[in-house]
Structure 1
């Protein structure tokens, strides 16, 4: 597979990561992602559910890894890959815990999704759909 083509062999969509110098330097996200392409993929919120529908992992990093893996599984099934992610929102039930694990979460992100960071936000949530879930991740990808 050519770096100029997606997993389906179609020409890769253009995603330009924009990080204006007048904004604070981003760490693990892009301030903006400009996209040109013909196909948008809207990825539903993913938690750390296993194949049986049970939440796995007792720590935020463990749940983040499973939730991100689930998001990427859905993305790949739609014909995309992590570099196609234009926007990701992370919902965390404990933002202080999320910040405390930021370095570890960054390592997990890079291991699973690489260094093409999408525009990203972390939002505190009182509770997620699955009561045991500590984190949920949704996103939008742009495919050619």
Structure 2
């Protein structure tokens, strides 16, 4: 399996994402949206960064259970109930990402939503990974 991150020079330099990712492999993993739920099904964390960290950890745990690793992520979508807050915390969220998932960024999008399934949830992440 290989993922190639494609960042054309004529597009704005990507920060914390790749403009495109090409993937070759034999196993596609579709990762369900993950919020900051603990093992008992309760949303944990009162801040966006705390919930982002737990949501990302949950996403990576699901990926690990499917046999993948952070570097196998080809696409991640972030759903945020407050995009302005997401932007304000971007540097901190980037540090969380690098600590948990490394520096091989997938293609990403951040989408503002009115609310998530769990009313206390501030952020949700889903993804697609390609495994060998």
CA distance in 1, matches of 2:37, 2:2: 32
Residue aligned with 1:70, SS: helix
How far 1:78 moved relative to its partner? 0.2
Q: Is residue 121 of structure 2 the alignment partner of residue 139 of structure 1? A: no
CA distance in 1, matches of 2:95, 2:2: 25
Partner residue in 1 for 2:66 = 78
- 4+ runs deviating over 2 angstroms: none
How far 1:93 moved relative to its partner? 0.0
Q: Number of aligned residue pairs: give it.
A: 132
Aligned 1:109-124 pairs, distance under 5 A: 109-124=97-112
Partner residue in 2 for 1:96 = 84
CA distance in 2, matches of 1:36, 1:107: 28
Between structure 1 and structure 2, the one with the greater Rg is 1
Q: Is residue 52 of structure 2 the alignment partner of residue 53 of structure 1? A: no
Partner residue in 1 for 2:2 = 14
CA distance in 2, matches of 1:97, 1:37: 36
TM-score, normalised to structure 1, is 0.91
